[in-house]
Amino acid sequence: MLATCEKLRPLLAGLLRGQYGQQIAGMKFFAPPITYDNIEMPERPKLRFMDKVPLLPSNLRAPKMQKKLKWMRGPEQVHNSLVHKQYGIIATGGGRLRWGHFEMLRLTIGRKMDTSRMFAIWRVEAPWQPITKKGQGQRMGGGKGAIDHYVTPVKSGRVVVELAGELEFLEAKKILDIVCPKLPFKAMVVSQEMLDKMKAEEERLERENLNPWNFKYIIQNNLGGCHRWLSPVDHKWFGKYLYLAIFEGQIPLITKTLQFQRGDVAAVPLGGVLPWQESRYKINDKHVLLLDEYFKTPSELNIMMMNDKSGEA
């Protein structure tokens, strides 16, 4: 008996000192489970099949159309909120959805979701814009080519698909993260709380910005003669919706960044303050705005500036 106690002495001493962990009895508090009393399951929980070609009357020839790139540019003003206030996929850039993308979304989400407690709905129309293409090896001329396929143009901030029901965000994200990288534009999985937080963050930056020299004021007053190199889109959106920033590790719906030039060179603000300084540097033979102090610039721009300074010396 004494020999057994002697063998257990180091183990008991370690437990008392907390070497092997410490067991504490106390009152625990767990948050109440989420209730889904307001959820009403539809008759068909899965995404419906989308037609590859729009239905037209028999006496009407299929009309052709121009590129209409304006249907992909700028923010989405209508379908930018979640109908069921739960989860979904939003586009963070413009693009075109082909019929194959619709099928990929429908089949993947349909296989992964639990139809007994989840349902999904489309927030985009079936392909309707005709895209023409000439056959390979044809000479130039001869009129506009034949219709090759149909697409659905999507703007930044457009809700593509919603997933709702008796599920939490981690479940929805696990399903929707599979299809997000396969879309023809950058997209992200969001919840209603994330959308509210993004909107509140945008309003906070607008409210707490103490610098009167913001991008909108600069463009409207033609400071530094910026009208010479700005595009018509800059006069409409004032530097927004041109490229992406990072918001808590995710791509935001509304960007608060400025663009040097149409390319990979960009600046990301740290505090929402937009300092202005006229610059003589050029990228691709076009003037750029040198944003410093509160901004992080890519290494490519720093190398270009260093080479410029060494050349002047």
281 in the same domain as 189: no
148 in the same domain as 104: yes
| Host domain of residue 96 | 69-134+143-193
- On the question of pLDDT at 257 being above 70, the answer is no
Buried b (16+ CB within 10 A) or exposed e, 92-120: bbbbbbbbebbebbbebbeeebeeeebbb
Spatial strand order in the sheet of 95-98: 95-98, 146-154, 129-133
pLDDT digits (tens, 9 = 90+) for 54-71: 999 999 999 999 999 989
216 in the same domain as 183: no
Helices (H) and strands (E) in the chain, counts: 7, 12
233 or 161, greater pLDDT: 161
pLDDT at residue 267, rounded to an integer: 40
174 in the same domain as 234: no
Among 96, 99, 97, which residue's Cα sits nearest to residue 52?
A: 99
In whole angstroms, what is the distance from residue 67 CA to residue 132 CA? 9
% of the chain with per-residue pLDDT over 90: 45
pLDDT digits (tens, 9 = 90+) for 184-235: 999 999 999 999 999 999 899 888 888 888 888 889 999 888 899 888 888 8
CATH number of the domain encompassing residue 99: 3.90.1170.10
- On the question of pLDDT at 288 being above 90, the answer is no
Distance of CA 51 to the CA centre of its chain: 26
Residue type, 245: A
pLDDT digits (tens, 9 = 90+) for 120-137: 999 999 999 999 999 888
153 in the same domain as 117: yes
141: left (phi over 0), alpha (psi -120 to 50) or beta: left
Number of domains in the chain: 2
* Mean of the per-residue pLDDT values of the chain: 78
187 in the same domain as 219: no
In a domain, 37, yes or no: no
pLDDT at residue 194, rounded to an integer: 93
% of the chain with per-residue pLDDT over 70: 70
pLDDT digits (tens, 9 = 90+) for 260-287: 333 333 443 333 333 333 333 444 444 4
172 in the same domain as 254: no
The band of 10, judged by pLDDT with boundaries at 50, 70 and 90, is confident
Asked whether the beta carbons of 81 and 191 are under 8 A apart, the reply is no
